[in-house]
Amino acid sequence: MRRDGRVTDSLLALLSRDWLGVPVAVLVVAVGGVLLGVGSAWAVVLGGLVTAAGVLLAVGAVRHLVLVAREARANPPPGRLVDVGGHRMHLLAEGEAAGGPTVVWVPGGHAPGADFRELHTMLSARARSVLVDRLGTGWSDVGPFPRTTAGEAEELVAALQGAGERPPFVFVGHSFGGLLVANVARRRPELVAGLVLLDPTPLEVIAFAPPSRQLAGMRRGFVRAAVRQLFGAHRSPEGRAGQGCAAASVFAELSASGLARVGWDTVVYDGDLGDLPLVLVIPRDLIGGEAVLAGARDAVEAERIRRFYLRSRTRYLAASTASRLVHTPAGTGHDFPHEAPGFVVDVVAGLVQELRVVSP
């Protein structure tokens, strides 16, 4: 299993290089030329088709490189690029700490920090706020493979230290980002003043939930998007091939077999965070997540699935003896950071103010 994983990681690392489309296209053209040289009628026809395909791939690959270069010139990074293990990681820090902790935002999925730009801008008027592009997102380099939660936790701390941001920090993570910041708190508790977990991913739903092909489909989608980008089959200039590859790599953990391999390093267990102030923010129901009920065989199983997901949402409360639960506004679902940004900022600012008052 691990050998297969190494092969996959190597392929993703290769696929993440934006220049890869050019040599692949040249190779296809070369194969077409060989077929044309055979001389037989079928070889000439096939060679012509292969050569034409290679030329189209080459045009698309060059188009992709032009779009990437144009986008880089038009949109330079707004923050700092910090060296993390030989790779550049982008951070945008604004606002004043004013004697309180600095807030670090980590969006869900494997999204860039800009996904929380509105929240960051709103909070930076009240506290020191930092947006981070994980390696493989935004303005950051792609970084090494495999991408893992454990590795990204270490990289996040190294980037903050390299940028000169001073602890203590309040880490705010949404969904998969919540799992990541909980890992940071477990590994480096001396740097962390508090956590705000926005409907964080509970790994029980990966290991024990009803069978679902959604995550596997997402990984395949990331890889397909990377291939399309390499050969210019995309309209938007945004998005390097490496971003989809990085997401596909880190999401490999989100399977029963993946968790069996990395669980001890990745799961935050009951009591792992001691008495760290922890605010868990979750919706009251499954608004926006009704698809998880679609595969139920009957009403009894549907109720069991509903109860499983709702109860698993609260599991992070057991990680700290100083945790508390906050429900999101009525009618909001898992994507509430975008549906109710003012509410989220108020929750985070409230914790910052509490910590500012009690700090020496």
Identify the H or E element spanning 315.
Answer: none
Mean pLDDT of 294-304: 82
**205 confidence band (pLDDT: 50, 70, 90):** confident
Angle between helices 214-230 and 241-250 (to 10 degrees): 160
In the structure, what pLDDT confidence band is assigned to residue 1 with cuts at 50, 70 and 90?
A: very low
- CA angle (8, 10, 11) in 5-degree steps: 65
Q: How confident is the model at residue 297 (pLDDT cuts 50, 70, 90)?
A: confident
269-293 average pLDDT score: 89
pLDDT score for 4: 63
Q: How many CA atoms lie within 13 A of 118 on its CB side?
A: 9
Q: What long-range pairs does 339-344 form, CB within 8 A, spacing at least 24?
A: 341/118, 341/119, 341/122, 342/122, 344/119, 344/198, 344/281
| Model pLDDT, residue 236 | 59
First to last CA, the chain: 51
Residue type (1 letter), 76: P
pTM of the predicted protein model: 0.91
pLDDT at 263: 86
Which domains does the chain show, CATH number per domain? 2-76+214-246 (no CATH), 82-203+267-358 (3.40.50.1820)
Q: What is the pLDDT of residues 53-112, one digit of tens each?
A: 999 999 999 999 998 899 889 999 999 999 999 999 999 999 999 889 999 999 999 999
Mean pLDDT of the chain: 91
Count CA within 13 A, CB hemisphere, residue 153: 22
pLDDT at 23: 95
Distance CA 76, CA 91 (A): 13
Q: Per-residue confidence at 298, pLDDT binned at 50, 70, 90?
A: confident
- Alpha helices, H only, the chain: 2-15, 21-38, 41-74, 117-124, 149-162, 176-187, 204-207, 214-230, 241-250, 256-266, 299-312, 336-339, 341-358
- Angle in degrees, CA 355, 111, 232, rounded to 5: 160
What are the tens digits of pLDDT across the range 9-28? Answer: 899 999 999 999 999 999 99
DSSP characters for 208-224?
TSPP--HHHHHHHHHHH
285 Cβ neighbours under 8 A, 6+ residues apart: 310
Which of 220-234, 280-294, 301-315 is predicted least confidently? 280-294
Asked whether the predicted pLDDT for residue 230 surpasses 50, the reply is yes
Instruction: Write out pLDDT tens, residues 154-197.
Output: 999 999 999 999 999 999 999 999 999 999 999 999 999 999 99
| Amino acid letter, residue 190 | E
